[in-house]
Amino acid sequence: MKYVDEYRDPRVAQRLVEQLHATVSRPWQIMEVCGGQTHAILRFGIDQMLPPRLTLIHGPGCPVCVTAVETIDKAVALASRPEVIFCSFGDMLRVPGSVKDLSTVKSQGGDVRVVYSPLDAVALARKHPEREVVFFAIGFETTAPANAMAVLAAQRLQLKNFSLLVAHVLVPPAMRAVLDCADNRVQGFLAAGHVCTVTGIGDYEPIAAEYRVPIVVTGFEPVDILEGILMCVRQLEQGAHRVEIQYSRTVRPEGNPVALRQIYEVFEPVTRKWRGIGEIPQSGLTLRAKYALYDAERRFDLQQLAAAESPECLAGAVLQGRKRPWECPAFATRCTPEHPLGAPMVSGEGACAAYYRFRRQAAQHRSISGR
């Protein structure tokens, strides 16, 4: 299959591994921002191919994982209302709130529906004018254009019963938050290719310059990731700090101007709380005032709802790369995909879920042995 098989070619991967071993001359620590990259790294054993002095750190690039507990509680409150049809992508249903998740609400009779596009929710609002239809708008810049399009479609159709529970988060402010941590160990980044397909690299260049860190926009197949790591290592070895694009078959420096215009027509930046991390300035998107009619938090007066996170869950430390999933005492015992304490264990892009699926026995051995 074009753009898949050639990026899984073991001969190409082996050549890149050999080049990495020949290039690394000192210890380096690189963060892959995206949870999709984390899963690929563990699935294909990329981390086990690298030189011993090269360490990959898993980052906060899982929008499901970083959605705050109180936002999940708001979703649960909305989905529990008899007049509401609550629409969401499937990976949000089992993310735990402070008391329950959306899957539990559904099992208790709430009208919770899995959809594949926000426009599916718009169609439901047209079909059921007697009901309130709420779409759970989560994701990084990647999903924001489609959610903006849904708002514009609802406005064009003059729908009065459609709204978004907005939980969008932005990648560059999260990278700054990681670099600003007192115990930061990150020396370079692999940035998420799908995000940069929308945004381009303009927001990353000031980060590279200010913090003197190389940033390589990278794809998600084994050859993509190995080549992205090699590009980043070469910069580190040279003392360089540029933004480079490995994922050039999709990403352009300017991104997608049409998608960007649509995002910022409907949304504006706002300080957002991240699960396990806390508030990061200007790290989220919210609906502009002229689209307030479509804001579920305002419509249902949920803005003041607050909730506490599980004190046992180390999601924040995992999402910031300060701890590995297996270093959490609850990993694979009190916290499993069937009974998660936090979102990183249940999300398809969560680091804890990746370790549980691909490294559970090794992780449990390390936990027991203390190594």
Identify the domain boundary among 245, 274, 307. 245
Q: Say how many domains are in the chain.
A: 3
Looking at residue 142, its amino acid is T
Q: Give yes or no: residues 230 and 204 share one domain.
A: yes
pLDDT tens for each residue of 239-281: 999 999 999 999 999 999 999 999 999 999 999 999 888 899 9
Q: Give yes or no: residues 92 and 164 share one domain.
A: yes
Q: Give yes or no: residues 23 and 56 share one domain.
A: yes
What is the reported pLDDT for 371? Answer: 46
Looking at residue 23, its amino acid is T
What is the reported pLDDT for 1? Answer: 58
What is the reported pLDDT for 362? Answer: 64
Looking at residue 224, its amino acid is D
Q: Give yes or no: residues 85 and 160 share one domain.
A: yes
Q: Give yes or no: residues 157 and 263 share one domain.
A: yes
Rg (Cα) of the chain, in Å, rounded?
A: 21
33, 59 contact by CB (below 8 A): yes
Q: Which of 229, 242, 236, 307 minimizes the C-alpha distance to 275?
A: 307
225, 40 contact by CB (below 8 A): yes
Tell me the residue length of the chain: 371
Q: Give yes or no: residues 158 and 200 share one domain.
A: no
356, 330 contact by CB (below 8 A): no
Q: With respect to residue 216, please indicate whether it lies within any of the assigned structural domains.
A: yes
Q: Give yes or no: residues 60 and 73 share one domain.
A: no
The residue written with tokens 């307030």 in the block is 292
Q: Which helix (H) or strand (E) holds 56?
A: strand 54-61
Q: With respect to residue 332, please indicate whether it lies within any of the assigned structural domains.
A: yes
Q: Give yes or no: residues 94 and 207 share one domain.
A: no
Q: Give yes or no: residues 132 and 89 share one domain.
A: yes
Q: Which two tokens stand for residue 331?
A: 């990993």
Taking residue 131's Cβ as centre, other Cβ atoms within 10 Å add up to 15
The residue written with tokens 């899963």 in the block is 39
Q: Give yes or no: residues 295 and 196 share one domain.
A: no
What contacts 221, CB < 8 A, 6 or more positions away? 4, 7, 8, 40
Q: With respect to residue 175, please indicate whether it lies within any of the assigned structural domains.
A: yes
Pairwise CA distance, residues 176 & 76, whole Å? 31
Q: With respect to residue 309, please indicate whether it lies within any of the assigned structural domains.
A: no
Assign residue 74 the CATH number of its domain.
3.40.50.11740
Looking at residue 335, its amino acid is C
Cα distances from 143 to residues 4, 175, 200, in angstroms, run 22, 19, 15
Q: With respect to residue 209, please indicate whether it lies within any of the assigned structural domains.
A: yes
Taking residue 109's Cβ as centre, other Cβ atoms within 10 Å add up to 9
Pairwise CA distance, residues 34 & 218, whole Å? 10
The residue written with tokens 């304490």 in the block is 341
Pairwise CA distance, residues 123 & 105, whole Å? 23
Pairwise CA distance, residues 351 & 345, whole Å? 7
Q: Which helix (H) or strand (E) holds 86?
A: strand 84-88
What residues form DSSP beta bridges with 134? 86, 163
Domain residues for 281?
A: 68-168+256-299
Q: Which two tokens stand for residue 362?
A: 């090794």
pLDDT tens for each residue of 76-121: 999 999 999 999 999 899 999 999 999 999 999 999 999 999 999 9
Taking residue 18's Cβ as centre, other Cβ atoms within 10 Å add up to 11
Q: With respect to residue 132, please indicate whether it lies within any of the assigned structural domains.
A: yes
Q: Give yes or no: residues 150 and 280 share one domain.
A: yes
The residue written with tokens 């000031």 in the block is 206
What contacts 354, CB < 8 A, 6 or more positions away? 35, 38, 39, 42, 43, 325
Rounded to two decimals, the pTM is 0.92
Phi-psi region of 280 (alpha: psi -120 to 50; beta: other; left: phi over 0): beta
Q: With respect to residue 198, please indicate whether it lies within any of the assigned structural domains.
A: yes
**Three-class secondary structure of residue 189 per DSSP:** strand
Strand pairing of 84-88 and 132-139?
parallel
What contacts 85, CB < 8 A, 6 or more positions away? 111, 113, 124, 128, 131, 132, 133, 134
Identify the domain boundary among 245, 267, 288. 245
pLDDT in tens, the chain (371 residues): 567 888 999 999 999 999 999 999 999 999 999 999 999 999 999 999 999 999 999 999 888 999 999 999 999 999 999 999 999 999 899 999 999 999 999 999 999 999 999 999 999 999 999 999 999 999 999 999 999 999 999 999 999 999 999 999 999 999 999 999 888 999 999 999 999 999 999 999 999 999 999 999 999 999 999 999 999 999 999 999 999 999 999 999 999 999 999 999 999 999 999 988 889 999 999 999 999 999 999 999 987 777 777 788 888 888 888 888 989 999 999 999 888 888 899 888 899 999 999 988 765 555 544 44
What is the reported pLDDT for 363? Answer: 55
Q: With respect to residue 353, please indicate whether it lies within any of the assigned structural domains.
A: yes
Q: Give yes or no: residues 152 and 273 share one domain.
A: yes
